[in-house]
Homo-oligomer: A and B are copies of this chain.
Amino acid sequence: MTDPPKGEWTLIDWIRRRAGGDPTAVPIGPGDDMARVVLGDTDCLITTDTLLEGTHFSLSEATPRQVGYKAMAVSLSDCAAMAAEPVAAVAWTGLPASADMAFAEDLCRGLLEAAERFACPLVGGDVTSWTGRLVIGTSIIARAAGVEPVRRSGARAGDALFVTGRLGGSLLGRHLAFVPRVAEARTLARAVTLHAMIDLSDGLSTDLGHVCRESGVAAEVDAAAVPVSPDAQRLAERDGRSALAHALSDGEDFELLFAVGADDAARLERERPLGETPLTRIGRVVEGRGVTLIEPDGARRELAPRGYEHFRGGGPA
């Protein structure tokens, strides 16, 4: 499940105080990448995400097929964040009046492309036309299947922090075509003990802030260690912000950020279980609150979460 912008945490907190149910029936409730629900003798995980035209994609930039693919991929990335195995998906869409049958089929082709690639069949859905703009979303059921779901809340002082891939600039196109790290997450979970994990949907600084908040810890990120994507470089050349700033705060990388103990950190760096997929130690978990960036000269600077805040003006946030 995608995190709301900072201001909307107030709403999520409001819901968390009232929702979630009995912890024996709902071992993981609102506030993680997926919820975990008991079903008789077994349990399952579930996540949901919605993409809104103009916010998560633009139809002048993306084909309907790309939008459909992204709608599935965003929820599959939540499965990756828990190291869970996707089982099935349902999808819904509100089609704008301008959408013809070819548009709708193309949208579904994108959903099905992701469904097939990740062995996560599309088992149902809800299709409606309306007078508004395109909305599309998915809910995905997953299962642990031999790997205990990894939460956001288990990071401990002394842990090392790692990310997969290279960060920043996904707006240049990667946000429509990324490959959710479902397989990589399960490989990592089998290789080491993952204390906490999240997928980078809101940007490294914000998502690391979520892990710290849920775990009751602080984090330090070594600026020189952050793996900067070529897209972040390109974007930096255009807009004058630094490539590092893009890598720290651009959203929709959909890479994994995780915390492991010192021995496991050394083991990951020695054994490289993800092969050619970049796996980078970017910092450490410490006591305290918040996220600090450590510059190459040793200067320290607080990394504030970034993001549009819907309720900044009016709400009690």
Task: Name A's B-contacting residues (CB within 8 A).
Answer: 1-2, 4-5, 8, 10-12, 14-15, 18-22, 25-26, 28-30, 32, 34-35, 37, 39-42, 44, 46-50, 52-56, 87-88, 90-95, 99-101, 104-105, 108, 112, 115, 121-133, 135, 137, 139, 141, 143, 145, 308, 310-311, 314-317
Instruction: Contact check, B132 vs A39: say whether CB atoms are below 8 A apart.
Output: no
Instruction: Contact check, A139 vs B53: say whether CB atoms are below 8 A apart.
Output: no
Q: CA separation between A19 and B113, bound complex, in Å? A: 10
**Residue on B with the closest CB to A43?**
B39
Q: CA separation between A92 and B137, bound complex, in Å? A: 9
Which residues of B are found within 8 Å of A143, using beta-carbon distances?
A: 39-40
Instruction: Contact check, B47 vs A101: say whether CB atoms are below 8 A apart.
Output: no
Instruction: Contact check, A94 vs B50: say whether CB atoms are below 8 A apart.
Output: yes
Which residues of B are found within 8 Å of A34, using beta-carbon distances?
A: 124
Q: CA separation between A201 and B247, bound complex, in Å? A: 47
**Set B50, B121, B127, B308: member contacting A126, Cβ < 8 A:** B50
**Residue on B with the closest CB to A29?**
B123
Which residues of B are found within 8 Å of A310, using beta-carbon distances?
A: 95, 99, 129
Instruction: Contact check, A108 vs B39: say whether CB atoms are below 8 A apart.
Output: no
Instruction: Contact check, B121 vs A52: say whether CB atoms are below 8 A apart.
Output: no
**Tally of this chain's copies:** 2
Which residues of B are found within 8 Å of A317, using beta-carbon distances?
A: 101
Q: CA separation between A20 and B125, bound complex, in Å? A: 11
Which residues of B are found within 8 Å of A54, using beta-carbon distances?
A: 130-132
Instruction: Contact check, A41 vs B39: say whether CB atoms are below 8 A apart.
Output: no
Q: CA separation between A311 and B115, bound complex, in Å? A: 25
Which residues of B are found within 8 Å of A101, using beta-carbon distances?
A: 10-11, 311, 314-317
- Chain A to chain B: the 10 pairs with minimum beta-carbon distance, closest first: A21-B121, A101-B315, A35-B123, A139-B139, A129-B310, A35-B124, A19-B122, A48-B90, A52-B130, A37-B88
Instruction: Contact check, A88 vs B21: say whether CB atoms are below 8 A apart.
Output: yes
Which residues of B are found within 8 Å of A14, using beta-carbon distances?
A: 105, 108
Instruction: Contact check, A46 vs B130: say whether CB atoms are below 8 A apart.
Output: no
Which residues of B are found within 8 Å of A137, using beta-carbon distances?
A: 50, 92, 126, 137
